[in-house]
Amino acid sequence: MLKFFLYLLIPIFLVSCKDHDMKGSVKIDFTLSWSTKSYTAGNLNAHIDDTTYRFDSIHSSNFINISSIQYFISDISLVSASGSTLMLDDNGVHYIDLSVPSTLSWTSLREMPAGVYDSVVFFFGLTSGVSGYFTDPPESNMFWPEQLGGGYHFMKIDGRWKNKSSDTVFNTFGLHFKAEDGIRLSFPQRVFMTEMGVVNLQINMALDKWFNVPPTWDFNQMGGAIMQNSTAQEVLKDRVKYIFSVVKK
């Protein structure tokens, strides 16, 4: 009789183990590139402090120096061939800040079922109506003024600009961007999730494309403060689809 019950229990045990083992996780590194130069978590800050690469010319002949980069990405998900979407984290929001190295990599909290996924999707920014969500800095410092609609910045890129490399007059700028809702981006990327495996992905921001995708950004026309400049906001919104890329490491 005991032997009979053991035979009954073995399949249940195997199914339980199979369900437990057939899980994996995803680790994401957030990187930055400028044209052909690529920067990872280990040298992003070095790029900003490197005086030999301090000022980057953009196609409008402006020269810029980036001092800080902050942005939100939401609802990072894997999409299967059948079209089902599996979000990597219940929280859904990740904050990236050049000055906070711990934000430049992220590992999913949710265990992912083993299988084949065909694409990676995420939202640049936050969903509409999000206000008062963050109570502590640095995320809370991304608030968008209530008199301008409330919520949070999707992105802040701050720095200085000048017209020629020989100029001694520097102007401050803030590419502070927010749309009504997060902007959905989808990237074809075959992901094989194995039992207890870790998939390493890299989400890169092509920083130069904020400025160099036509029409070329010219601070003489756009100005340095663009939060209430609807034309500048629309230009940035149109460029989002060119900015990010996803690769499997």
Condensed to tens digits (0 to 9), the pLDDT of residues 33-90 reads: 877 666 555 454 444 444 433 445 666 678 888 888 999 999 999 998 888 888 888 7
pLDDT on residue 91: 73
Model confidence over 163-199: pLDDT tens digits?
A: 876 778 889 999 999 998 999 999 999 988 876 678 8
Pairing of strands 93-97, 183-193: unpaired
Res 108 pLDDT > 80: yes
pLDDT on residue 185: 97
Res 96 pLDDT > 80: yes
- Which residues touch 83 (CB under 8 Å, ≥6 apart)? none
Report the DSSP beta bridge partners of residue 31. Answer: 204
Res 97 pLDDT > 80: yes
pLDDT on residue 130: 66
Per the confidence metrics, is the pTM higher than 0.95?
no
Model confidence over 190-211: pLDDT tens digits?
A: 988 876 678 899 999 998 899 8
